[in-house]
Amino acid sequence: MLIGRMKPLSLLRRRSSRISASNTEPHPSLVEAYHGTHLHLDPRLLSINPIKSPPISPRFSESIASNRPNSSNSFLSLLHSCTDVLALGKIHGLLIVRGLTQNLQLQTKLIGSYGTFGKLECARMVFDSIPDPDLYSGKVMLKWYIMNERYMEAIGFYTCMRQRLQEQDNIVFSLVLKACVKLLDLDEGKKLHCHITKVGNPDCFVLNVLIDMYAKCGDMECARRLFDEIQERNVVSWTSIIAGYVQNDYAEEGFVLFNKMRWACVEPNEYTIGSLLTACSALDSLHQGKWIHGYMIKDGMGVDSFLGTPLLNMYVKCGEVTDARSIFDELCDADAVPWTAMIVGYTQMGYPVEALKLFSDEKWTGIVPNSVTLASALSASAQLKDLNLGRVLHMLGIKLGLDEYAAVMNALVDMYAKCCAILEANYIFERTSPKDVVTWNAMIAGYSQNDLGYEALIFFNQMRSDGCLPDAITVVFDEMRDRNTVTWCAMMGGYGMQGDSIGSIDLLRKMLKEDLQPNDVTFTSILSTCSHTGMVDEGQKYFDTMSKHYDIVPSMKHYACMVDMLARSGKVEEALEFIERMPMQADISVWGAFLHGCRLHSRLEFGEVAVKKMMELQPETPDYYVLMSNLYASDGRWDEAFKIREVMKEKGLIKLPGCSSIGMDNGLHSFALKDMFHRHGNTSPNFKVFSEHMVQ
């Protein structure tokens, strides 16, 4: 059994998370040294974290004591051989005591040493203490901001550099541009571009980074303009613009540029190939993907982890699972990315057993699954309708802390729903926040698959009220393998309820293309949609088609839809003529639809005809008499309204007032509008009691 081979608990034996306490106490030697020089600095800037550092090597301490460094060269040698931050603190203290803090070379080396240990506050303190820093010391400080991923501070430091230093070079520009790329900060990138243009003479490397910055920030127009201005483009220039187009969903333009790149006799590198493989995946272009794979083999590019993953993804997206598995098996040092990609591929292409075998293979127990991996495994168990396996995976997700991820929660809803555990699916659904389109789709599909159509419709309406478009539910509908007339009609009705006549009619056309015969319910949905959206000509066409081409005899519902369509659009006379031409006597629903249109367009003379017909069909129903009386009253015909009320009295017809009910104290209590007393003889006011009960 697959469950026995999975061994989910073995996946939990991983490296423990790194937790380190911070110690912000200033290093004693630095505090003492600075106090001796009468420098007024914030002691917090001198803080060293001894917990992260090993104790000072005895040999290193002996070296400091025996050599008694005095010259700058001696200190440079000590800084170069320093291997821990505590020793660095001692050296810094000695520099201060020996009065060497004004030596620019030593201070620059000290900045680099602090940067090596990630102590950027101390490094910045050293830089700020230099009275006349040069460009090199500024570049060292900037480099360590970038190396430690402190990108916001890097941009801020660049502003400081411009104030203190008169010149900047291309290395500085490239470092700051990298920070803009990492932050996706287009505004700062544009400001820097302006400064680069003002300074002049940017080299090809800076221009390439600018192209990359604009592309990654989504401004392909500026990226392309800059690319076209470069006179001597190298492989990095071409790769940057190609990757930019692919990343911004212009994969076809990426291939156009690749062809131009070949015409320019520029050979692609592995980064170019990786971008092109991603483009093939986006375009589902297996032919081009295989051509690129052949180029890789011809050029001697190995299938390593860098190119192996996009190549594997390309074959998966193009449906070639066997080729994808061959690539996966070639990867010697495969990590979580290709492993997950292969599991996703198996699941998406309908190979759930293979997906779960790979997921539970002991060879990969050293890799911790991520949320995408677990979601794919849950999807595979859903395809197998294996509830026990799904629950094991659910427990694994809880132990790995992945059960709160959106992808996993959506997969859990889908798995429980497909395994007929609808209560558990609903429990996960209610816990999911915020709910995206996939969450709603999974729950609606689950109700539909479990023959709970009413609940599915309720969820569909709730989804719409939460702001999801009708197209969202099409995702579920399109994935259904056994679509029949009932499911098509349900979809049409859903679109119709939302007033999307175009979507509803488009579904009918797709249904006919699948050689499915529409039934009377199909045309009821279509006619109702056309009625509510005012598409009279389309509705008339489908009404004629149902009898001429599909031999469906129109029922009273179809006639009522047509009358409603004509009257609602203001064609009251045509609606009345249509009723008179009906092959059977119109019932209450037809005349009610006609009356609704008359009231919408204030055609009271036709409304009077409708009400009289309704009174003839159901003479003992008081509602129609009241309706007729109200109709006369709205037109100022008070005598006629009074006569109708008299007729009601003669016939003993009483219109019961509308009321509401509330369950309280094991009983049902009713009350009407402005009703302040109990309707069953109790004269005590009940409004306060009802209000208190509702609050409870």
- Give the chain's residues under pLDDT 70: 1-72, 74, 305, 453-454, 457, 464-465, 467-505, 514-516, 624, 634-635, 653-696
For residues 564 and 594, membership in a common domain is answered with: yes
Phi, psi (degrees; rounded to nearest 5) at 150: -100, 70
**Do 490 and 525 form a contact (C-beta atoms < 8 A)?**
no
| φ, ψ at 470 (rounded to 5°) | -60, -30
- Report pLDDT for 492: 66
- Confidence (pLDDT) at 525: 77
- Residue 145 to residue 220: CA distance in whole angstroms: 28
* CA-to-CA dists, residue 69 to 65, 66, 123, 402, angstroms: 8, 9, 22, 55
Cα distance between residue 651 and residue 645, in whole Å: 10
Confidence at residue 32, expressed as pLDDT on a 0 to 100 scale = 41
Domain that holds residue 687: 658-696
Question: Which residues share a beta bridge with 165?
Answer: none
CB 364 within 8 A of CB 338: no
Is residue 234 within 8 Å of residue 266, measured between CB atoms? yes
Q: What are the backbone dihedrals phi and psi of residue 389, each rounded to the nearest 5 degrees, phi first?
A: -65, -40
Q: What is the pLDDT of residue 75?
A: 73
Helix 286-298 to helix 270-283 angle, to the nearest 10 degrees? 160
Establish if 571 belongs to a structural domain: yes
Question: Where do the DSSP E strands lie in 67-199?
Answer: none
Asked if residue 595 belongs to a domain, the reply is yes
Residue 592 located in a structural domain: yes
Asked, for residue 158, whether it belongs to a domain, the answer is: no
Alpha-carbon distance of 13 to 15, in angstroms, equals: 7
Shared domain for 626 and 686, answered yes or no, is no
* Domain harbouring 619, CATH code: 1.25.40.10
Does residue 578 sit in the same domain as residue 671?
A: no
Question: Same domain, yes or no, for 669 and 644?
Answer: no
The answer to whether residue 100 is domain-embedded is: no
Six-digit token pair at 389? 């396996």
Q: Is the residue at 202 inside a domain? A: no
Q: Do 584 and 639 fall within a single domain? A: yes
> Tokens for 76?
């440079």
User: How many contiguous H segments (helices) and E segments (strands) does the chain have?
Assistant: 39, 2
The b-or-e profile of 615-637 (16+ CB within 10 A means b, else e) is beeeeeeeebbbbbbebbeeeee
Does 490 fall in a domain? no
End-to-end CA distance of the chain: 52
Collapsed DSSP state (helix, strand, coil) of residue 284: coil
Instruction: Please say whether the dihedral angle defined by the alpha carbons of residues 167, 171, 175 and 176, taken in this order, is positive or negative.
Output: positive
DSSP notation for 22-35 = ---PBPHHHHHHHH
Residue 28 structure tokens: 């004693």
User: How many Å apart are CA 534 and CA 205, to the nearest integer?
Assistant: 61
Same domain, 623 and 646: yes
562/599 same-domain check: yes
Helix, strand, or coil (residue 91): helix
Structure tokens at 290: 């295989």
Task: Say if 637 falls within a structural domain.
Answer: yes
Q: Are residues 563 and 639 in the same domain?
A: yes
Place of tokens 């187009």: 245
Whether residue 613 is found in the same domain as residue 571: yes
Residue 687 has a pLDDT of 44
Dist. CA 398–CA 390, nearest whole Å: 12
pLDDT the model gives residue 78: 79
pLDDT digits (tens, 9 = 90+) for 17-64: 333 333 444 444 433 433 433 333 333 333 434 334 444 445 445 555
Do residues 576 and 611 lie in contact, with contact meaning Cβ atoms separated by under 8 Å? no
Could you tell me if 366 and 11 are in contact, meaning their C-beta atoms sit under 8 angstroms apart? Answer: no
Cβ atoms of 152 and 183 within 8 Å: the answer is yes
- Are the C-beta atoms of 347 and 376 separated by less than 8 Å? yes
Give bridge partners of residue 12 from the DSSP assignment: none
For the chain, the domain total comes to 2
Same domain, 586 and 638: yes
